[in-house]
A and B are shown apart, each in its own frame.
Chain A
Amino acid sequence: MSEIILVSAIWIAQGALALAMCLCTWRMVLGPRAQDRVLAMDALYVCAMLQLLAFGIRTGNTIFFEASLVIGVLGFVATVSLAKFLMRGEVIE
């Protein structure tokens, strides 16, 4: 019984997160300016992290949590460096 509840909840959660990732990608394509794309990419990284967390719960394997931490670190570094670039790189498009 509890397995049915959990599996269906995980399915709903993963579907919602997949849709969320699609919406982030949509905003990334849409723009309109560079900072909007970077913001969307940051949100995409967060959603990917949560998606991996959901995978970890579904398979019952904690190795996914380490992977999701790695994605979190990568997303953080990528967003910070891109924001820094927007501030001091080629600023005016």
Chain B
Amino acid sequence: MTIDLADVPIWAAIPAAAFLVIGAGLSLLGTLGLVRLQTFYDRIHAPTLATSWGAGGMVMASMIIFTAASARPVFHEILIGIFVTVTTPVTLMMLGRATLYRDRMENSPDLPKAARHVPEPEDEEKEEQNT
């Protein structure tokens, strides 16, 4: 399916343009944070700007434009939005856990006391049996 941008009425073009600029601008801010922030745990927050409102804004804009230009509801872009929302937590959680694991193994000084390794209850029981 193809559309022509000239078919988009002006009442749809203005909000769509606003969503486009806001979405792309927030993604840019997120990656700016990725470069400017100092520690890894701070930087892990930055890409969520791109995946929450960055992707959301672009998907909204595309839905408005395609719906207005083809005069029937088009919303299969929403799959992209849902996909990003569901997969980002998984990737960031895995990365966060991997980093925490590595920092704990190395006894990194970046890690405050609250995040140090606390033995699991099963571990404690084993230690008690050993002694």
Interface size on B, residues (CB 8 A): 64
B residues less than 8 Å from A61 (CB atoms):
1-2
Question: A59–B9 Cα gap in the complex (Å)?
Answer: 17
User: Which of these, B2, B43, B65, B88, contacts A6 with CB under 8 Å?
Assistant: B65
In the complex, which residue of chain A has the Cβ closest to the Cβ of B39? A36
Interface class of chain B by DSSP: helix
A15–B8 Cα distance when bound, in Å, is 22
Cβ–Cβ contact A57 & B61, under 8 A: yes
Q: How many A-B residue pairs have CB under 8 A?
A: 188
Residues 50-82 of chain A, each 1 if its beta carbon lies under 8 Å from chain B, else 0: 100110111111100100110011001001100
With beta carbons under 8 angstroms apart, the residue of B12, B40, B76 that contacts A65 is B76
Q: Decide if the interface of chain A is mainly helix, strand, loop or mixed.
A: helix
Closest residue of B by beta carbon distance from A15 = B24
- Residues on B lying within 8 angstroms of A by beta carbon are 1-6, 8-10, 12-14, 16-18, 20-21, 23-25, 27-28, 30-32, 34-35, 40, 43-44, 46-47, 50-51, 54-55, 58-59, 61-62, 65-66, 69, 74, 76-77, 79-80, 83-84, 87-88, 90-92, 94-95, 97-99, 101-102, 105-106
| 26 residue pairs bridging A and B, Cβ less than 8 Å apart | A1-B13, A3-B5, A5-B17, A7-B5, A9-B18, A13-B23, A16-B24, A20-B30, A20-B31, A20-B50, A23-B28, A24-B31, A47-B27, A60-B69, A61-B1, A62-B1, A62-B74, A72-B80, A73-B83, A80-B90, A83-B91, A83-B95, A83-B97, A86-B95, A87-B102, A91-B102
